[in-house]
Chains A and B, each alone.
Chain A
Amino acid sequence: MSVGTIWVLAEASNGAVASITLEMLAKARELADTVECVFGGDGDSVAAELGAHGATAVHATGDLAGALPGPSVAGAMAAAIAGGASPSAIFIGTTQTGRDVAGRLSVKLDAPVITNVTDVADDGGLVGVEPAFGGTQLVHTRFTSDKAGIFLLRPKSFEASETGGAAAAVSALTVPDLGAAGAAVVTNSFVEESVGPKLDEAGVVVSGGRGLGEQDKFEMIEQLASKLGAAPGASRAIVDAGWVPYSYQVGQTGKVVKPDVYIAAGISGATQHLVGMKGSKTIIAINKDSEAPIFGVADLGIVGDVHKVLPQLLEALAARG
């Protein structure tokens, strides 16, 4: 059975299409005859970029006026499907918006979601590949019904690439009456400024964890990052503790990063952290516990105290000018 049409849920901020969307488009193109996007916003603002990455159409709801996208975008998709649209599969990114849309849509279609997917294969039907058991094994799952298969795909699983295609044709996607379900409204948005390159785009990432001991010591991470032109990152332990904002978090619930060099200082290497950085080209770990799981993925592991190694490293780098 060939895969006819795949829908990709597009996300964008300030007119720039999210990298997860472009990554999913690249994968969808490999698998399907036709790739179209669904977008909770103004389609004209994203049509050119989506087209350049292979989408032939973008079905857009128009401005959502502050409503959270989950109910409205899922509602609009379900209505389109009820009205005759028949995508074989729907690719949604594992993001805040993506999870909301996937959850709502699965109920509307009474269809399951295959989650945490890092690859999709065509095996006479689409198969989602999901890491399990601490990433040691890959579970291959497929849908058993002929409903549209909803896949939640993890960021950085595929390489985005341009086709140079023409702008995607914009068509209107009608949001049905949502009743009470659509009542949550965003009243204000706050951006937590961070210095240097963006965490998920940086060529080098320097992350700190609970092993730093106290909040003030995160300064060592920031200094090292600025010295290396890197983005600072963090484990969830120190995000929860309030040392740094959530936007620094690397891992399952945070950002997925794939830099050329990832430096983990005072991070144990819990599975949920590893899934966010294991794909880095090279990894340096500094941890005083030689048994720490982070050493299992490190190309260079330093068994040592961050309070000794980091200041020495900073000094050596400063001396080089």
Chain B
Amino acid sequence: MKVAVCVKQIPDPADPGALDPSTNTLKRDTKLILDESDSYGVEMALQLVDTAGGGEVTLISMAPNNEVNGLRTALAMGADKAILVSDDALAGSDALGTAKVLAAAIARVEPDLVLAATESSDGYTGTVPEQIAELMGLPSVTFAKAIQAADGKVNVQRQTEAGYDDVTCPMPCLVSVTAGVVEPRYPSFKGIMAAKSKPVDELSIADLGIEAGAVGWAGGGQEIVAVVDAPTRDAGEIIEDEGEAFQRIVSFLEEHKVI
């Protein structure tokens, strides 16, 4: 079974970065890392290929400056190879522009299954996977918390507001996964060494047949008109528990007529 996994490389969330006031974009000058949200898709892909008795896991990423740091992490987990799309024309791409690029790159792999995360940690539009599916004419199941693949179809437990649905879908298809779907493995030392020599195919948008005007700032169709401070909450009362703090909670609940 051939699985393509979308992996986003993002600034370390522990280091939030800053807004560049001249362009209203996020300054991202540090090394990018594998979005934790995508480590679940990578693990799921490895397990599905394993269960199927063979196949290939290809990582798909779009990132600035030919960044491969996050890809190496996913290759070290066990993915076979990667396609990286990096191009100056992609700066400022929104979700739809990103999906167009990823869909074109994924098409090269002709996968049975495309995996992505439900939402990225830094962009969290949660629309890219479904946009990719539509661009590729594929059926899809989003919000997966369990996936099985057999007999040319996937069976997915899809989270809903109230519980979950069993959904069945023929392959090829796209599935977006939640963080509960599997427990990602840590790369082993051997994996890390092996990752160094795994192939990363670096492509420009011209290689994918995409026009510069269709992506990036130009292709966006939206613009930021203002960035303002959000209203803040007034500082509250903080008390150190010396064994009596529960009484303050009781009186607070009384004041607010909960009890």
Contacts and interface: CB of A to CB of B under 8 A. Distances in A.
B227 A300 contact: no
B167 A303 contact: no
Nearest to B172: A180
Contact of A140 (B161, B162, B221, B224): B224
Contact of A278 (B127, B233, B245): B233
B141 A68 contact: yes
A300 B236 contact: yes
Given A96-B143, A108-B134, A302-B249, A115 B241 contact: no
A298 B236 contact: yes
A297 B237 CA distance: 10
A147 B96 CA distance: 15
A316 B243 CA distance: 13
A183 interface: yes
A185 interface: yes
A112 B94 contact: yes
Interface stretch (A44-52, A211-219, A239-247): A239-247
Nearest to A229: B258
B235 to A, nearest CB: 8
B145 A114 contact: no
A96 B94 CA distance: 20
A107 B222 contact: no
A70 B130 contact: yes
Chain A interface bracket (under 10, 10 to 19, 20 to 34, 35 or more): 35 or more
Contact of B253 (A246, A261, A303): A261
A252 interface: yes
B170 A183 contact: yes
A127 B222 CA distance: 10
A300 B237 contact: yes
Contact of A106 (B96, B225, B247, B253): B96
Contacts of A187: 165-168
A301 interface: yes
Contacts of B170: 180, 183
Contacts of B140: 68, 70-71, 100, 181, 184
Contacts of A108: 134
Interface string A131-162: 11111111111111101000010000000000
- The 4 A-B pairs of least Cβ separation, nearest first, read A304-B241, A103-B130, A107-B134, A184-B169
